[in-house]
């Protein structure tokens, strides 16, 4: 029983990280119709920029803040202005291709420019574990859950309680109506890209201590993010959370009770089941097709 609880807790912690990446993915889709296949590289690049600032002598939290600035400029503003803005009017497919190219470009630049080795990454949380009624949970799992939870709650509060956040939701729901109401749609979309970049940096901070910083670390986390987003429901922010945690927990359970070799396949199987039986996602709403 203790084992099982431990599996659930650490799975939820891993899932919370997938959920952060999936959340950004969903927000981008809602706000701008962008399917970002480079989402995994959006997590890998911050990991290396945090390591870069640590190498310059900065403590972890300063390196994290600096990385937030750099990544928001590069993968928030830069990504939107250079890649998304010129392509978005051509429809979904060209943008998907461009983000696939971007994914290869970023990955291979890191491989060629730095190296192909895994680099260790400092954990923001203390080592050791907490023993509670026969169940031991590591501090890093607790820390991950708390930090990811705070970020998600903060984001929800921002989206639902502030004028800017509600304006952003209005843009996602009906762009034209939002514009008529005097909302600066372009600015709101830009905010979404910035939030996506920020979520990616947080995901990098949480995931890299166990994944290690490596040029291809984004492959796996990117895939989990897409699947989590679709499983939960592409058009629902809460869906990304449910999808992420579901994948994290099931991966742990399958890895323990079935075979660790097939852990990576769990997301696909759940995805196929979901699109067979509930195509709009577990929490999603059916979208009308626009002609």
DSSP state of 286: P
Contact 240, 25 (CB under 8 A): yes
Q: Which of 203, 231, 184 is nearest to 75 (CA)?
A: 203
9 vs 3: CA distance, rounded Å:
10
Nearest approach, Cβ of residue 128 and another protein (Å):
33
Nearer to another protein, 17 or 38 (CB): 38
* Best CA proximity match to 230, nearest among 170, 273, 194: 273
Per the CB < 8 A criterion, the answer to whether 17 and 151 are in contact is no
- Taking the complex as a whole, the smallest distance from the CB of residue 94 to another protein amounts, in Å, to 5
CA distance readout (Å), 248 to 15, 42, 83, 139, 225: 4, 20, 31, 18, 11
Residue closer to another protein by CB (options 113, 134) is 113
Nearer to another protein, 107 or 214 (CB): 107
Residue closer to another protein by CB (options 90, 187) is 90
Q: Residue 9 or residue 246: which is nearer to another protein going by CB? A: 246
- Where does this chain bind another protein (CB under 8 A)? 35, 83, 86-87, 90, 92-98, 100-109, 111-113, 219, 223, 226-227, 230, 259, 261-262, 264-265, 267-269, 271-272, 275-276, 279, 291
Beta bridge partners of 135: 132
Shortest distance (Å) from residue 116 CB to another protein: 8
The least CB distance from residue 150 to another protein, in Å, is 30
The nearest distance, CB 270 to another protein, in angstroms, is 10
Rg (CA), the chain: 19
């Amino acid at each position: 029983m203790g084992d099982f609880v431990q599996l659930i807790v650490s799975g939820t912690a891993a899932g919370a990280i997938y959920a952060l990446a999936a959340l950004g993915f969903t927000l981008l889709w809602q706000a701008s119709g962008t399917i970002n296949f480079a989402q995994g590289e959006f997590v890998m690049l911050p990991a290396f920029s945090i390591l870069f600032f640590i190498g310059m002598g900065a403590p972890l939290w300063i390196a994290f803040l600096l990385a937030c600035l750099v990544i928001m400029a590069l993968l928030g503003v830069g990504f939107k202005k250079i890649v998304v803005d010129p392509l978005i009017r051509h429809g979904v497919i060209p943008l998907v291709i461009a983000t696939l190219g971007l994914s290869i470009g970023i990955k291979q630049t890191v491989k060629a420019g730095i190296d192909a080795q895994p680099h260790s990454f400092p954990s923001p949380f203390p080592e050791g574990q907490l023993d509670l009624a026969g169940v031991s949970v590591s501090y890093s799992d607790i820390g991950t859950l708390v930090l990811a939870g705070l970020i998600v709650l903060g984001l929800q509060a921002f989206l639902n309680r502030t004028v800017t956040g509600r304006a952003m939701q209005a843009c996602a729901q009906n762009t034209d109506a939002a514009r008529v109401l005097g909302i600066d749609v372009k600015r709101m979309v830009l905010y979404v890209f910035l939030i996506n970049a920020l979520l990616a940096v947080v995901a990098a901070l949480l995931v890299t201590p166990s994944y290690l910083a490596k040029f291809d670390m984004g492959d796996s986390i990117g895939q989990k993010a897409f699947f989590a987003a679709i499983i939960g429901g592409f058009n629902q922010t809460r869906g990304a959370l449910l999808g992420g945690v579901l994948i994290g927990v099931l991966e742990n359970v399958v890895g323990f009770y079935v075979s660790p070799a097939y852990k990576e396949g769990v997301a696909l199987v759940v995805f196929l089941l979901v699109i067979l039986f509930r195509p709009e996602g577990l929490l999603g709403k059916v979208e009308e097709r626009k002609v």
